[in-house]
Structure 1
Amino acid sequence: MALSWKARRRLSLLVLLVALPLYVVVAISVVALFDRPPILLELAIYVGLGILWTFPLKPIFKGIGQPDPEARDGTED
């Protein structure tokens, strides 16, 4: 069952406000467990982790910036 536009919008807000900051804290904590790598390798790790979270969540964010396709009178919420 596909999520409605409203549900995806709420879920995307939850992801951006709660899950993403938690992901950042976990990523920094995991990298800090190891000896500090060379700066370019550390940069590559953070860039890779920064891109990695988007792939499983792409369907949630797709079309969120557009008006509600199911709205009849053109108003949102």
Structure 2
Amino acid sequence: MKKILWIIVLLITIIIIGVATYSKMPHYKKICSDYTKREECVKNSRCDWPGSSCAVPGKNCGFTYDPEKDRCLPKK
């Protein structure tokens, strides 16, 4: 009986540590709308439709800044 209890405690501890570690990790999937109307968006074309995500920061997401509309739009 004690063994089962130890296993449960161990599993809960591992889950808590895992969640804490994950929440502190830098998230590589950025919401691209963060870059909408920002200079980074213009410089790096790191921008997108609000709400969807890009892969690694700095990677070109295939969107470009449209000064007329003042936001990031898909490249034509």
Give the TM-score taking structure 1 as reference length.
0.33
Instruction: Name which one, 1 or 2, has greater alpha-carbon Rg.
Output: 2
More contact order relative to length (CA 8 Å, sep ≥ 6)? 1
Indicate the structure with greater helix content: 1
More strand by share: 2
